[in-house]
Chain A
């Protein structure tokens, strides 16, 4: 067994795909040096025609990837900062995503966009701390947020092999997660399937990305009084509604913890779908960032706006009070 870090898992996934498929290539800033610790060693192994350092022109190199994809490549684009996704929203949501439909299926755009260190990095302030995965789910771009190193490996591999654009968020809060794994057992994780990290009978907690670890900690803390099931959707679009419905069938109660801004975040969508289609015995709750949050610099202010274990604990207790 080997201790596998989240970043090493991403590095391994990318390395395996570069080795296995000559059409795979990587574009990004400072990826030759590997500043984000994902592409470390890849330039030396695969050369500058496969691992292509780009100037600071995010919009151009994002669409450059679209064009390369049209001409047969399978590019991975790395962004150093989650908020850069706002800058390239046109290139992903309005260009890459739309070509398949607009051309009546004449082309496919198999590009993977990787954001290592999404969400707050504590102390990086307003323009480096966003977590805009809900935006991509909203426009229908395939979106994954792995919570563990094995899922990071497996979902990243599947994203690269997928024939559509896929955004992979690697939350900064999850980058410290390590797992003891058998490296030969690492495998692709199909998009669109959630994972029950912990089985329970009283309430389903849907946790996204790094918040899975928080949900597991809270579930453990509450184990004597409440049986919490922790469901990690892993893919936010398309979301595993069947898997979620099966979990809610077992528990009848639902709490979502989601690092999105509250209004129009994926947590709201999960609650709405559950209310419409699933058998809930109590009103569901969500723990999110506030509406329209911009993370302030000072650490206490930054933390004050992110979903916390305390908020989750309170929400779980309130939801299980009803319908018992």
Chain B
């Protein structure tokens, strides 16, 4: 089990990774922007701390935290964001599709709610294979109104598969408030399918770990799916595009209130000052190396732009003959 220091290290790593990535967006080294995970770090860190390396996760467009918390190399992750050949996906996926199958990250999915059914199928197959592997699928409050996710709840409950649905309720689907998008309650929806649902403070990594452990134990023990709603707040933009466009959908006061409960500080306060400083320094050194690696890495060769399109190596016809 990961200790308090380990949990802090992960939230801090994600926090600083995102801040460094935003700098690289501003410098133009990351093209296309990112969906920052700032404020939500405790969820990825707490949930993944309850998992084994061979357990599986699916991630989202706001997915850097999940991939890092599952154990991906920050240098190869950052190289992927920068579109480099050394990236996790060889520069073919970028921020919204980062994947690391070697450690069970089945990919970030850029269609809201789309991964729930994929995770359910992977959980079914894992169970059929006789393993006690579990699958976690992360998604936001916005996904709760996506039909295919609700269908996945039904399938997961019917087949009693080892999948854990983790809803990161940050209050907003892009700019729409959760109250304007979700009738009834979020946790009431999985409950209607007979899926045990809990609600937890998503700003407290140890609380998240507790709720996730309960759900993982249930899944591993053959008890079927669970649902964990994590209350959180998105500190930064929906997408870095907002830094320039500055759409107004929440007040400065509201953002300040949201940021007043900071998952990094909450966990940091549980550590002795010198321990926290040491971890911060380690994380910074790791990210210094990661940034350098990403910047120094070669770009992929355009001649291979459609490599990997087919598993059997088929290359499609060119656009001009």
Partners in one complex: yes
Residues of A within 8 A of B (CB): 49, 54-55, 57, 59-73, 90-91, 94-95, 99-110, 140, 142, 162-164, 238, 241, 276-277
Interface contact A108-B311, CB-CB below 8 Å? yes
Instruction: Name B128's closest neighbour in chain A (CB-CB).
Output: A49
Interface contact A104-B56, CB-CB below 8 Å? no
A95–B321 Cα distance when bound, in Å, is 29
Interface contact B154-A106, CB-CB below 8 Å? no
Q: Which residues of A contact B88 (CB under 8 A)?
A: 104
Interface contact A60-B312, CB-CB below 8 Å? no
Give 14 new A-B contacts, CB below 8 A, not counting A61-B155, A68-B121, A104-B88. Answer: A59-B148, A59-B151, A64-B118, A64-B155, A66-B121, A67-B120, A70-B106, A71-B121, A91-B114, A100-B308, A103-B89, A103-B99, A164-B312, A164-B314
Residues of B within 8 A of A (CB): 56, 87-93, 97, 99-102, 106-107, 109, 111, 114, 117-126, 128-129, 135, 147-148, 151-152, 154-155, 158, 306-312, 314, 316-317, 321
Interface contact B129-A72, CB-CB below 8 Å? yes
Residue of B101, B124, B307, B317 near A103 (CB, 8 A) is: B101
Residue of B90, B117, B306, B311 near A163 (CB, 8 A) is: B311
Interface contact B125-A71, CB-CB below 8 Å? yes
Q: Which residues of A contact B308 (CB under 8 A)?
A: 100-101, 103-105
Interface contact A61-B117, CB-CB below 8 Å? yes
Interface contact B151-A106, CB-CB below 8 Å? no
How far apart are A57's CB and chain B's nearest CB, in angstroms?
4
A62–B117 Cα distance when bound, in Å, is 8
Residue of B56, B93, B121, B135 near A65 (CB, 8 A) is: B121
Q: Which of B91, B124, B135, B312 has the most CB of A within 10 A?
A: B124
Instruction: Name A88's closest neighbour in chain B (CB-CB).
Output: B148
Q: List 20 A-B contacts (CB under 8 A).
A: A60-B117, A61-B117, A61-B155, A63-B117, A64-B152, A66-B117, A67-B106, A67-B117, A67-B123, A67-B124, A68-B121, A70-B122, A103-B93, A104-B91, A104-B92, A106-B100, A162-B312, A163-B312, A241-B317, A277-B321
Interface contact A55-B158, CB-CB below 8 Å? yes
Interface contact B114-A95, CB-CB below 8 Å? yes
> Beyond A163-B312, A276-B321, is A64–B89 a contact (Cβ under 8 Å)?
no
Q: Which residues of B contact A55 (CB under 8 A)?
A: 154-155, 158
> Beyond A66-B118, A73-B125, is A60–B91 a contact (Cβ under 8 Å)?
no
Interface contact A106-B101, CB-CB below 8 Å? yes
Interface contact B111-A101, CB-CB below 8 Å? no
Instruction: Name B114's closest neighbour in chain A (CB-CB).
Output: A95
Residue of B99, B148, B154 near A63 (CB, 8 A) is: B148
10 nearest CB pairs, A to B: A67-B121, A104-B90, A60-B151, A64-B121, A63-B117, A71-B125, A108-B311, A105-B308, A163-B311, A67-B122
Q: Which residues of A contact B126 (CB under 8 A)?
A: 71
A226–B91 Cα distance when bound, in Å, is 55
Interface contact B92-A102, CB-CB below 8 Å? yes
Q: Which residues of B contact A70 (CB under 8 A)?
A: 101, 106, 118, 121-122, 125
